[in-house]
């Protein structure tokens, strides 16, 4: 499936739950190139499913907004339920049908304190932090906003997100010592009070057409800087997401489309080449 071109593989392990090794996740990406792999496990405590999220480099992610919309659409079609609850590494995530082909994900409260994001050093105010890349005195990018949406994000404010070689700067910033757990790197512009334009280098995945958690992080960061209100359209290379940072409880709601592509099975030989036990899952 995909969410605005963000390639999502959903592996259903509810009937045969077993862990996915990093080498298996990387091998799966060779057969079916993806941004995130969402592994479904049996539900606990009355929820609809438990989910683990993998990047294409084999690392695990705490959150994936576009992937959650895809999972919600798949499970809604299977069960007929319009609202679902999932356990994720970032906590309980609720999703619901929001219209024809549209799903909303409650991404929860953003984490704004330096040690929650986390950062390597303390900053009293994370609306902007001291970080730059490029020549001393003439940095190419500087003073990002930092937010965690279950995964760490750094948002650099620019006039035109397309004017930068994000494939060059993204890996350097993702692995900067400031981010002990690495970070998603976003270039963002606010052409109007109700619209944000972004491009994202996704931690563990690289350049992506869409990153739902980055859209949420950018919306929160823009509202904190009073660049926008708390309800915006975020435009990504793959399309638009509607983001609301709800005042009543500080939860961030993300609404957008999903698209089903195809169903298949992973080649057991490919997984065997990863030198780990195979998980032949649909």
- Positions marked active-site: 64, 211
Question: Measured between alpha carbons, how far apart are the two ends of the chain, in Å?
Answer: 13
Strand, coil or helix: what is 184? strand
Sign of the C-alpha dihedral computed for residues 71, 76, 82 and 84 taken in this order: negative
Residue with tokens 């902007």: 128
* Four-residue CA torsion sign, 28, 40, 91, 65: positive
Coil, strand or helix: which one is 228?
coil
How far apart CA 117 and CA 86 sit, in angstroms, is 22
Structure tokens at 234: 């975020």
Q: Are 213 and 153 in contact (CB under 8 A)?
A: yes
Pull the structure tokens for residue 88. 């994720």
Beta bridge partner(s), residue 236: 239
**Alpha-carbon gap, residue 180 to 274, rounded angstroms:** 28
CA distance linking residue 144 with residue 128, whole number of Å:
5
Among 150, 25, 15, 3, which residue's Cα sits nearest to residue 74?
3
Give the Cα separation of 126 and 29 in Å (integer): 35
């Amino acid at each position: 499936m995909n969410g605005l071109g963000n390639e999502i593989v959903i592996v259903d392990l509810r009937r045969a739950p077993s862990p996915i090794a990093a080498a298996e996740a990387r091998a799966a990406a060779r057969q079916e190139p993806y941004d995130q792999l969402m592994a479904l496990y049996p539900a606990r405590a009355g929820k609809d499913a438990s989910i683990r999220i993998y990047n294409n480099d084999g690392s695990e992610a705490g959150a994936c907004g576009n992937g959650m919309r895809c999972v919600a659409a798949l499970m809604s079609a299977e069960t007929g339920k319009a609202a679902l609850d999932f356990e994720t590494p970032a906590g309980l995530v609720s999703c619901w049908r929001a219209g024809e082909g549209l799903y909303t994900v409650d991404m929860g409260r953003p984490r704004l304190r330096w040690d929650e994001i986390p950062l390597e050093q303390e900053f009293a105010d994370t609306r902007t932090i001291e970080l730059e890349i490029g020549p001393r005195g003439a940095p190419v990018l500087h003073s990002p906003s930092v937010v965690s949406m279950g995964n760490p994000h750094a948002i650099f404010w620019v006039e035109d997100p397309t004017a930068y070689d994000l494939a060059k700067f993204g890996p350097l910033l993702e692995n900067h010592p400031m981010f002990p757990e690495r970070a998603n790197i976003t270039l963002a512009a606010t052409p109007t009070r109700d619209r944000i334009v972004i491009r994202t280098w996704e931690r563990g995945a690289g350049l992506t057409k869409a990153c739902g958690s980055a859209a949420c992080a950018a919306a929160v960061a823009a509202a904190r800087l009073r660049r926008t209100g708390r309800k915006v359209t975020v435009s990504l290379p793959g399309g638009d997401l509607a983001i609301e940072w709800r005042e009543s409880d500080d939860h961030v709601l993300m609404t957008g489309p999903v698209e089903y592509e195809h169903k298949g099975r992973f080649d057991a030989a490919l997984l065997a080449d990863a030198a780990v036990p195979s998980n032949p899952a649909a």
